[in-house]
Structure 1
Amino acid sequence: MTYRVSAWPRTVGRAVCVSLLTVTVIGCQKPPGAADSPTPSRPVGPGSAFLAVDECSSRGRVSFTEVPCGSERAAARVIARYDGKVEQGPACPARTDFVLHVSESRPAVDEDGDGEVPQGYACMRNLEAPHPGDPGRGGGPRTVVGDCVYGAGRGEVRETACDGSGERAPEHQVASAVRERAECPAATRLYVTLDGARPVGCAVRM
């Protein structure tokens, strides 16, 4: 059985849209009613699944291989694993550094003629720093409290490191998460769409 693994999204500078002072993360939100908890959808254990929860992968520019976590080649660990497409499934945990899409080559049941069948996605956490998914580090698949953004033009903003180490200086920071906009403090300048029970992020100017 052959698997194809690809990384998504990039861990730095993902784009978000700004409309009526609202920031919405594109491609990173789960649909209404999806679970918040990182419950794996596949069995765990050696050989039970490709890149199951708690298994590790090497990391290259274009290829990712499952390796023992004690191997010197191990670079990241699977902290959650889900079936289906990332746009339709549960959101990865907030501490996820990057996401891997896993497809199985099986043309006999191919749906779109590309020779691949979507098998799911793995939420990955680097075994060592840096951790772009941590609050304020400028990356990861989710926007969380503590993250910073800058204006990218054409009604968009992009995430960047809060300490100024990124390519662009931060302009706003998500200071808190609330259930409704009315609960944001008066200093709020942008409303950011987040995951979970508190879907409104209150961003202040830095």
Structure 2
Amino acid sequence: MTGRTHEHGRTGLWATALCAVLLTACSGTDPQPVPATPTTGASSTPSPTPSPRPTSVELTDTYFAQGQCAAPVSDRDARVGGVTTYRVASCTDALAVATVTRRSPTVVVTVESATTEPGCEDTTDLTIDLAANLVRATGAQGTDGAMTAYACLRTLREPHPGDPGNGGGFKIIKGDCVYAATGDPGGRTVAETRCDGTGAHRPEYRIRELVELIAPRSTAGGGSCSDTGGTVLTLPRYSRYGKGLPKLACGVPL
């Protein structure tokens, strides 16, 4: 009797389970999904939205005014020598590298202003395109009203790259040394290097005189240095930013 009772109980359980399955299938209702278990350690905090890049920034005459000093935007730039962006700094700042000796007025970019050489002194060590520098420093897309200006600077410590023979500065001047630049079939276009031979290129000529006449490249071959006893050389464009036509110089072979 006991065995039959157990069998009857098992039969009842099977019947109940079967009814439950049939009821679910016939109802047309999809089974509810089981909620996913949150992943341990996953952050639910949304990523911060980056700040929008400013469209433009204002360039005024107070930015790198005469007498202000410049420092690279980071000490790493100062260490590796890859300085391309500067900030206005106190002249007592440990990272300050140069002081502004002359600054051009802030003007609207025109054909004339885009082709005019900055009025820096011959021994200027460094020039800064202030519009480009400000855009890089702020991350803006441009300056308000498409303004432009340049700053001429002298380094705070010696040696001064712009001094004659030191292999740098704003432009090539009398007393500088040069070497024949690559890519010139005639070998008369030159680039600056140190006169003491410690630069990347061996000096080949020392500049004895400059020809102040601004002339196209085609005129360079017709020049003469008979009065000074040198070789006619074509200097690179006056500005580090490519403004102005080449000038001629008389170079003495070394």
TM-score class, shorter-chain normalisation, is 0.5 to 0.7
| Partner residue, 2:206 | 173
Task: Between the two structures, name the one with larger relative contact order (CA 8 Å, sep ≥ 6).
Answer: 1
Quote how far apart the aligned CAs of 1:201 are. Answer: 2.9
Paired AA for residue 146 in structure 1: G
Return the offset for 1:80: 0.8
Which has a greater percent of helix? 2
**In the alignment, is the contact (CA less than 8 A) between 1:56 and 1:77 conserved in 2?**
yes
Higher strand share: 1
- 1:115-146 Cα offsets, whole Å, 9 max, x none, are 33333010111100231111111111211001
Q: Is the 8 A contact 2:57 2:142 kept in 1?
A: no
Q: Which residue pairs with 1:82 in the alignment?
A: 104
2:216 is equivalent to residue 187 of structure 1? no
Distance in structure 1 (CA, Å) of the matches to 2:230 and 2:175: 14
TM-score, structure 1 normalization: 0.62
- Report the Cα offset of residue 76 of structure 1: 0.5
* Change over 3 Å in CA distance of 1:164–1:121 after alignment to 2: same
Gaps of 5+ in 1: 5-41, 43-48, 106-113
- Percentage identity across aligned positions? 30
Please tell me whether residue 91 in structure 1 is matched to residue 133 in structure 2: no
- The amino acid that maps onto 1:50 is Y
Structure 1 64/179 Cα, relative in aligned 2: closer, same or farther at 3 Å?
A: closer
TM norm structure 2: 0.52
Structure 1 residues 133 and 3, CA gap change in structure 2 (3 angstroms): farther
Structure 1 residues 141-173: Cα deviation after superposition (integer angstroms, max 9, x where no partner): 211001111112322321110110111100011
Shift of 1:93: 0.7
1:178 and 1:157 map into 2 onto residues whose CA distance is 15
Distance 1:151 1:182 in 2: 18
Query: When the two structures are aligned, how many residues end up with a matched partner?
Result: 154
**Correspondence for 2:33:** none
Q: How does 1:140-155 map to 2 (within 5 A)?
A: 140-155=169-184
1:102 corresponds to:
130
Structure 1 residue identity aligned to 2:142: G
